[in-house]
Amino acid sequence: MPVNATAEYYRAESHYLAAKTREEKIAALEEMIREAPKHKGAEALLSQLKQRLAKLKSQSESKSARKTANIPKEGDAQICIIGLTQSGKSSLLRKLTNAKPKISEQPYTTTKPEIGVADYCGVKLQLIEIPSSFRREFMSIAQNCDAIIIAIRDGDEKETMLELLERFRIRKPFCFITLEEDEKKIKEKVWKILGLIKVYTKEPGKKQPKIEGGKPPSSGQKPMVLEEGATVADAVADIHKDFLKFFRFARIWGSTKFPGGKVGLEHRLEDDDVIEIHAG
């Protein structure tokens, strides 16, 4: 018992002892801390109360953290497919990836996130369809992904979906896709909004891979995926951080005036560039 505690403190303590939920306990503890005597003799009590409060708060936070259904990112980018029920989300996921979600005429067929991986020119895009119940735990996936595909049947759904994204404060690049769109077009649209570039490496003396926009190179080579605006330095560091120390120059096919033009670390790369790094 604290020395010289006020009546208010004891009232707060009785609230604490009577509290049933964690939230009530937190509120009562905060009240106790406010009302606790602040003199030297009561220091131990105050620190005990603060510790108890911190413990309770961390418990309630981990409980609420469980309400989010974040899915570990795999591949080069994570894209969320969202839309009203029966807008064709599962059909899109089937069309673009290896996933086999159930498709039916029954509204709200999809009840949990469905995940698949799409290949775009060797780039791996992780696609996640979320249920149209728009529960908070599913919306957190849309809040944390890199870009959003909004599945729509017609133009009228656009407004509704944009309002929904705003309501959940989802501010990610997005594009609208309708069921009838061609697979290649959809992937190109998604790639454009991601704000990424793909860059292919080649070894000195070897033939450079032939890159035709939107098509994987015939060699099947997987590109390096970098942020838009990335430089040669970013590409070199992506291969190995220590590599930067030994860098001499690079030759580029694509973003240079002449094929195989010589550049330094500061040269800005573009989508579908081929880079040959000279080091040593």
Is 201 a binder of Mg ion (CB under 5 A)? Answer: no
**Which 195-254 residues touch ligand GTP, going by CB under 6 A?**
none
Among 85, 144, 178, 221, binds ligand GTP (CB under 6 A): 85
Among 12, 77, 87, 217, binds ligand GTP (CB under 6 A): 87
Among 97, 110, 201, 255, binds Mg ion (CB under 5 A): 110
In whole angstroms, give the CA distance from residue 80 to residue 69. Answer: 13
Is 90 a binder of ligand GTP (CB under 6 A)? Answer: yes
DSSP 231: B
In the chain, where do the E strands start and end?
77-83, 114-120, 123-129, 147-152, 174-178, 196-202, 224-227, 247-253, 261-263, 273-279
Residue among 70 and 85 whose Cβ is closer to ligand GTP: 85
Beta bridge partners of 115: 128
Is 267 a binder of ligand GTP (CB under 6 A)? Answer: no
DSSP 173: -
Q: Give ∠ CA 184-123-145 in degrees, rounded to 5.
A: 90
Residue among 86 and 140 whose Cβ is closer to ligand GTP: 86
**What's the min distance (Å) between Cβ of 88 and ligand GTP?**
4
Contact footprint for ligand GTP (CB under 6 A): 83, 85-91, 103-105, 107-110, 132, 151, 179
Contact footprint for Mg ion (CB under 5 A): 89-90, 109-110
